[in-house]
Every structure is written in structure tokens, then in C-alpha cells.
Structure 1
Amino acid sequence: MTGEETEGEGHGSRAFPRRRVLRTLGGISLVGIGGTGSASARGPPKGTGNGGPPNGNGGRPPDHAGGPPDDERGPPQSDDEDRTIEWGGQGSEHAEQDCPEQDGCWYWVLTPGGPEEFEEVNELEVTYEDGDTETYDEWVQRGNGAYQIEVCKNDGGTVEDAFVDVTGGGRNALLTISDGECKGPVYWQVDFGLGLSPPEVPKYEPEDFLMAAVGNSDRVSFNPSCTFPKEDKIDLLDREFDFDDEDNPTHVSVRFEVVSDEELDLHLAVFIRPPRDLTEEFDVKEVEEAAKDGECPIDADDVDVEEQVEFGVASGTFGSGEQHTLEIDLPTP
């Protein structure tokens, strides 16, 4: 936030059973017990219009994905025959998801490869480049065709291998990564300062800065993280910001009173910042107490000020003798 270092720059392999999980009988899906671990699995996202993952192809593997040669797929299967469908690199352009401090997610599609339906679909086992092997079981079948599953891993990674044991299906069955993305909280910083707009790089001079807070869409981390009270100009009534929900914040406001004889131009700005969980580096109580005493315990470099992107600004000109409020929405995933 501020540009003076003397002031403290502110801111603002495991074994898993494979033969269980999901069996389709007479149109009813029966889900068994899932695996454990740091990764997670969910059904495909809603709202794609066709019930498929967000690649917009309704769960079909991309046309360019291809598949194993016919002589590697084996003979046609009967409905009661067990076999393993291995990932052959289909959708490998989505295999790497580099997501620091977020979840890397992959959307897998298992297609029967013909008119024969799968009688049974078991856990998907995925091995990542870092050596981790995870299993996932929350398959969702769309109609009588493809099975889809979304799987996520902390910080993401690169898929190296995957397979699923099935019963039945056609000779052209395929296991494909149809899409991938990073998911997780959006990290932000809130700044309250003099002027109708913040500096283009939000590294304030102390004379223009009043108060800041940092957090993300999952929680408010420090409120405040920095203050430079201007006792002769403005009274920060609460010495902190008011958030609609400390655990899932979507809106923030600040109350103040102008005490100088002159009108003041003021702004409340929100910036999206690079992911960084500052609560792992700083003690929340110590930071907030110091900030309320007029300090900036968190340095501008700690919140990567120069890499912040402006999300929104609320501003106005305010006269003395009355209490005022500025408020603005916060970014959410």
C-alpha cells in the first residue's frame, strides 16, 4: 500500500479396492464408498446447458482426441465381462493444471464406445507426475451413455496415468480428459484512501492512505491490515471495515466522519491480488492490533501490490460534521 519502508508498507502409492463404486440397474444409480485423501471428486458442473462438463461438448471427447488403435482395444465385450479402460492421452492438453494455493480440477469422460452400455463402472484411479495416486468414485451417468466425473487436487499437478475397471461396454470405449481449470478462493485487498481514485499501482504515499484489509472469498484474513489515521481530517469510526460475512465475504463498507473544515475526496477500492495465504506468515491478532495503533505490519511486497488488478472503486466528496459510508462488492469465484 504505502511506498515508505520506514512506515511498513501496507495493504492494504496407496492401494485401494477397485471393484466397487457405481452400478446402474434399471435406470437407478447406486453409489458406493469413496476413497480418501487430499483430493476431491464431484459430479460435473451445472449450468452447461447439456449436463456435460464446461467444454460444451456434452461429455463427448474432443474430435481431435483420437484413441488407441483398434488392435489395442481388444475384442467386443459382453455385458458381463470385466476389463480395464486405460487413459491413452486423450485430452492431454488439459493434463497439467498449475494452481498454487488453489485446487487443480480435471473433467474426465468415460464413453462406452458403442451401443453396449456399461453394466458396472468402478473407481477412477489417477497417478500424478509427483507420484501421488488418488482414487475417485463420484461418477455421474448422463442418460444411458457416457459417465462423467470432476476430480480435484490441492495445488493441481500433471496427470501421468489413469484407468478405470468396468464391466461391459463397447470395443471403442475411451477415457478422456475433456477439460481442466484452477478453482479456489479469489484473493483481494481493500483500500480506503484520499482522492477519488487510487494510484494506478496501488502503492500509496502515507499522506494519501487511511486503512486497508486483506483476505479472500473464503474469509477475511486481516481487518485491518494497515492504518494511517488522519486525526485532523477524518475520524475512522470503527477503525476497521464492516464485512457482510467474515467467512464468505461478498460486500464491504467503511464508516467515517470528516472532521476538517474542508470537504474531502475519498475512495474505497478493491483489488484482486495473487494467491497468497498471509495467515500462514503473520499472526492475525498481532497484525490487527498493530494496525489499529496506526502501523502497517504487512509490507507492500507481501501482498504483491504491483501485480494487483483493480476490481472496483466507490468514491465521493464528503463534507464535515456528518457520518458517511462507502461500500462496494468483493470479488467471488
Structure 2
Amino acid sequence: MGRRHNDSESTNCSFFVLLCSALISCALVYTFLSVVLRPSDFYTTSLSHQSSSSSVGEEGRREEGDSYGGEEEQCCRGIENLELWGAAVKWGSEFKFNSSQECCKACKSMCTGNDGPCLCDTWVFCGNKEACGSKFGECWLKKQKDTLNPDRQEAGEKVSWTSGIVFGKGEGIIGLETKHGTLHIKLFPDCAPHSVAYLIELLALRHCAGCEFHRAEGRGESWDSEGNHIEKASFGPPFGLIQGTLEAMGNPFKKIPTEVCPTIRRGSVAWIGSGPEFFISLTNHEEWKNTYTVFGSVLPEDMKIAEKIARLPTKPDVWNNINVSVLEQPVPLLLKRMKTSVETE
């Protein structure tokens, strides 16, 4: 923002000063946008300057099966123009709501994890008055045979339904297998349905040629072992993360829309821009605010694997005037489906 000037007589000198100020301001804005908004790299220095010294503590840690932290209102999303099939547990003709969020919540209420498996793991809502006609407001609650391979009835602009998936406790866990161990990730389909749909597509390929980690930065002296920021320390670099790409060769990537962007916490798995670049955070980054779509979280017991990758040999590089640490040898990834959080390799 430019400095506010006091009123004075118009002179050639003042005009020249104003012109210079405007040019400098434009240059600064351009630099800021090129650093922050470029989706292909991970630049966070400008965000660090917006930070407060407070950090996200253990009270903010989510538990498996719950919505991500305090994002309950945002985390009841589905995919429009998609109709998922499955065995009905609530018939929409007799079960109607005013919004897809209410339909989603009705399904989630049947999937608390306290009384065995989820009775509902799929919801389908018709919310377009003109297209739905007499079906407007219908909320169908369904049960899939396989939530990581949901039964699709149809999709496309002509489809008036919105559908979403709910993963119960111990469900919706995928593995990022590396030679250093497998990172088990709990996916958040209610918060990031488009992101999870993409990962389900990758799982179906049974390979992920080209998927890898290629950047690794430890916590340095700015964060403690639990990921909390140390008072008066810098916010990076290093930023405490491992970064990679989730795009299989030969499989055209379609940009993923921005979804729920909660505060980044230790274990958060998030896209950089619209993907396929992603990162796993080793630290709590309250200073980044609501910047990145979070589509999952590494199970706490596997964070030691992420820390191990972050300690691998790196070489310095500069991305848009930001110092980064690039792995000397990228770490290939293989996506695997996991039935439970305790499955052994």
C-alpha cells in the first residue's frame, strides 16, 4: 500500500515523487504476486511476515474420523453433477432437506464410529429446483461396498445430483509407500471431495510413475519436536516440510479447485496451488493462515518417517529468490490402499 500524502501545491517535483512511488509500488505488488500465487513452486516467505508469534498447540490436533479441527461447517462438501450409487439406507423420496450440507450431516450422524461400522458412507442430494422438479430436496443416504471405489451411476452437466462420501474410523486411509517406510494418510472427503476423488483415481491406476518427494526441509531451530513454533524464532527457511508431486506419467492432470483451507498443522497433507505439487508439514504453520487445500493428515505414528525423509541429503537451490533445500536423490512414491490404520506391511 502506498503512503498517504499530505495536500500541497502541485509542482513538478511532487509529481515526480508521486510517479516514482507509484512505479515502486507496482513493482512490489508484481513481485509479491509472482512469489505467492505461482502454483508450481512453494513460496512462503511473504506469508511468514503476516504471522503472529502464537502457535497451534495439541488442542488443535484432529482425531481420526472427525472433521478437520474446527472446520465442521466448511467440511460437509460434495461434488456437483455427480450421482453415486449404492444400497439405500434412507430413501430420498421420504427424506428431504433444504441444502446439501444438511444431507451430508445426516449421513455423518450415522457414522460416528461409536457403534461399529458406518451405517451411511454416501449421500446424494438434489438441490436444483428447476432440474430436480418433484425430486427437489431429496436426500438419499447410501452404503458402498467399497468406499475407495464408489459406485458411480452417472456424471456430467445434465446430472442434477450432488454426491459426497464419508469415511468412518479406520476407513479412507491410503499409503504413500517409500523405501524409507509407508506414510499412512487419512483422507478428508467431506472437506476436500475433489481432491479425494483424484486420489481414488490414482489408486485405480495401480502405479504412480513420476510420483515422488523432491524437496526436504527440517524444522531447524524455529519449531520444537511437536511442531510448535518457538517464540521469537524465524518462520523459515527452512519451513519444516517435505514436498513432492502426485501426478502419474501418462495420466493427464486436471487442476483441482480450491477446497477447505484450515490452518496447517503438523501432519497436514495439502496441495500447492491447484496441484499436483503437494507437501506434508512437519510443523504448525498458523502464519500461513487459510492458504492451502488440506486433503488429509499423516497418522501421528508415521510422522517419524516424514522426519527421516526430511533429514536426507539435500542441496541448496533458489526458487524465485527463496532459498530451498532440494533432495540430492528424489524419493519415489507408490500409492497403496490401506484397510485400517493398524495394517502391517
TM-score (norm 2): 0.22
Higher relative strand content: 1
Higher relative helix content: 2
